[in-house]
Amino acid sequence: MIEPSAGSAGTASRATGAAPDAARLIAVGGGKGGVGKTFVTVNLAATIAREGFDVVVVDGDLEGANTHTCFGVPPPPLSLADFVANREEELTKLMVETGIPNLRLIAATHANLAAAQPGHFQRVRLLSRLRQLPVDLVLIDLGAGTHPAVMDYFLVGDDGIVVFCPEPTSMENAYSFLRAAFYRRMRLSMLTHSVRALVTQAMDQRNERGIRTPADLLREIEKLDPSEGGRFAETLRRFRPRLLINDVRTADEIKLGFSVRSVCRSYFGLEAEYLGYVNHDAGVRESVVARRPLVDVHPNCDAAVYLRRIARKVIQSLGPAVVEEA
């Protein structure tokens, strides 16, 4: 468990290298736009920073960058887009203050819409550089969809958070997101070309080999290469996506988190964690309009209380960093 830094003095001690441990990296995704990924990221970050941890929020949504707005930060002159376009190498130069102690932002404004998205190796380079930032926690606010660009940020970090709403469309997208995360995670952790090719085949739900479930896939891998089979099972054991339901209005909707967790277990053999829920609250929109986190605008509303409860769980999970190869 890492200790919170003592305000700005803590920031300075980390920045001078007194604490050499790598930053923890947690991505917030969910497949669908508008489910509250940015809202959750901004409020968890503000809560965790107020607990004394040094936090950096990264706007990972190059095509729909808006995290800066939720902090009332004007589009900064330098952003992640400059790193991606190789115009700026030094990530610390991209960090801007948010006005909240211990909390800084790497925005994603001024993306060149004509530029190609960063490739896999460029993304892995970015993630390893984020790990080296002199902070305790990096929270990445992801864009919508299940494109490899989104999934890499989700997978290379620590156990990512999947945000969804209790609506069929959002649930459907959350399952697609979990499915894409599962297969990409498994493919990246396989070492041999033939087994990777098998996982790629399995990603097509109508594949000709008849692989319909992760259990079918594991059987096929074990036939081909037992040591890869063992690695597959071990990766599965360590992969624990965290589920967060946002915008709930009824007690039944809260239970959906348990249903999704059961589906993860029975279908993928995945032990997802139900991190918690946040209720629908008219104050959320108000806070976005005020360009400040809800936990600051209405610290005593139910949604702020639930967000703080979730933030405490995230803080508890900030054990020593384990850096995994992609």
Amino acid making up residue 258: F
Which of ligand ADP, Mg ion, none has residue 45 at its interface (CB below 5 to 8 Å by kind)? Answer: none
Instruction: Compute the distance between CA of residue 172 and CA of residue 35 in angstroms, rounded to an integer.
Output: 12
Three-state SS annotation for 6-48:
CHHHHHHHHHCCCCCCCCEEEEEECCCCCCCHHHHHHHHHHHH
Binding of ligand ADP at residue 303 (CB under 6 A)? yes
Count Cα neighbours of 307 within 13 Å in the Cβ-side half-sphere.
30
List 101, 285, 302, 305, residue binding ligand ADP (CB under 6 A): 285
Q: Closest distance between ligand ADP and the C-beta of residue 181, in Å?
A: 16
Binding of ligand ADP at residue 36 (CB under 6 A)? yes
Interacting span for ligand ADP (CB under 6 A) from 35-43, 181-189, 206-214, 254-262: 35-43
Binding of Mg ion at residue 43 (CB under 5 A)? no
For ligand ADP, which is the closer residue by CB, 37 or 184? Answer: 37
Q: How many residues bind Mg ion (CB under 5 A)?
A: 2
Instruction: Compute the distance between CA of residue 244 and CA of residue 267 in angstroms, rounded to an integer.
Output: 19
Which of Mg ion, ligand ADP, none has residue 73 at its interface (CB below 5 to 8 Å by kind)? Answer: none
Instruction: Compute the distance between CA of residue 45 and CA of residue 6 in angstroms, rounded to an integer.
Output: 16
Is residue 199 within 8 Å of residue 66, measured between CB atoms?
Answer: no
Binding of ligand ADP at residue 280 (CB under 6 A)? yes
Which of Mg ion, ligand ADP, none has residue 35 at its interface (CB below 5 to 8 Å by kind)? Answer: ligand ADP
Three-state SS annotation for 43-67:
HHHHHHHHCCCCEEEEECCCCCCCH
C-alpha torsion sign, points 196, 200, 203, 205:
negative
Interacting span for Mg ion (CB under 5 A) from 19-27, 33-41, 89-97, 183-191: 33-41
- List the interface residues with ligand ADP, window 246-275 (CB under 6 A): 246-247
Q: Closest distance between Mg ion and the C-beta of residue 154, in Å?
A: 14
Binding of ligand ADP at residue 39 (CB under 6 A)? yes
Q: Closest distance between ligand ADP and the C-beta of residue 201, in Å?
A: 32
**DSSP H helical ranges for the chain:** 7-15, 37-50, 67-70, 80-84, 120-131, 148-156, 168-189, 193-202, 214-224, 226-238, 251-263, 282-290, 294-297, 302-316
- List the interface residues with ligand ADP, window 184-223 (CB under 6 A): none
Closest CA to 117 of 141, 149, 155: 149
For ligand ADP, which is the closer residue by CB, 69 or 92? Answer: 69
Bridge partners of 314, per DSSP, are none
Binding of ligand ADP at residue 34 (CB under 6 A)? yes
Which of Mg ion, ligand ADP, none has residue 247 at its interface (CB below 5 to 8 Å by kind)? Answer: ligand ADP
Q: How many residues bind ligand ADP (CB under 6 A)?
A: 16
Angle at 172 between CA 170 and CA 176, to 5 degrees: 115
Is residue 189 within 8 Å of residue 235, measured between CB atoms?
Answer: yes
Binding of Mg ion at residue 38 (CB under 5 A)? yes
Which of Mg ion, ligand ADP, none has residue 119 at its interface (CB below 5 to 8 Å by kind)? Answer: none
For ligand ADP, which is the closer residue by CB, 11 or 43? Answer: 43
- What is the binding site for ligand ADP (CB under 6 A)? 33-39, 246-247, 278, 280-281, 284-285, 288, 303
